[in-house]
Amino acid sequence: MKKSELVYNEIFCSLFKERKTRFTQLELSKNLSISLSTVNNALKPLRRMNAINVSSRSFTLVNKKKILLYWASIRNLEKDVIYKTRVENIIEAEKNMPEDVIFTAYSGYKFYFKDAPADYSEIYVYTNDLNEIRKRFPEKKQPYNLFLLKAPSKLRLNPAMLFVDLWNLKEWYAKDFLKALEVKVNGILE
C-alpha cells in the first residue's frame, strides 16, 4: 500500500469514527509518522478534482465519495500480496488466523458488519507475520483462496478500506458486497 493511500485511510478512519471532515496536513503527518511532503503529495489529486477545499491552515472534505472512488481506482491489491495458498475450509481458516491479522474484503466485511451479503470462497488478510501463517496454512497448489497482504504500520480497518479492497477484486460476488457496503455508508459519504 502506498503512503498516499495511508493518508486516505487515515482520513476515512476519522470520518467514520468521529464524523470528522476537517484536517491539517501536520496532524496527518504526525498520526502516520510520514513526512509533510508525502501528505501534501497525496492531497494534490484531491485538490485538483475539487474533492477537498484547502485553506491556509487546514483542508475540508468536499466530496467524500469522489475521494473514495479515486482511492479505489489507484489501489493495486495484487501488488501487496506476499503469500497465497489454498485452504479447504474458509470458515475454519478464518477461525485459525493469528489474532493480529486484519481481515479485509469478504471476511473483513463479515466481521465488521456481522453479516455477509453473499457466500464467498476467498480470504484476504493484512499481516506481517508470514512465518506464523505459513505454519498454519502451508503452501498448496492453485486455485489459491487465501491471500496475505503486506500490512503497513498504522493501518486501521474502516468501511472505506473494505470498499477499496472489494473494488479491486475480480470475483463476481464482490459486486454484492460493494452494493451492500454502499447502502451501509451512503449517508456518511454524502
Q: What is the pTM of this model?
A: 0.93
Would you say residue 131 has pLDDT above 80?
A: yes
Mean pLDDT of the region 102-124: 97
- Whole-angstrom Cα distance, residue 60 to residue 80? 30
Domains of the chain plus CATH, in order, are 3-74 (1.10.10.10), 77-189 (no CATH)
DSSP string, 140-183: -PSSP-EEEEE--TT----HHHHHHHHHT--STTHHHHHHHHHH
Which pLDDT band holds residue 51 (cuts at 50, 70, 90)? very high
Residue 190 has pLDDT above 80, yes or no: no
* Least confident segment among 31-35, 68-72, 185-189: 185-189
Residue 53 pLDDT > 90:
yes
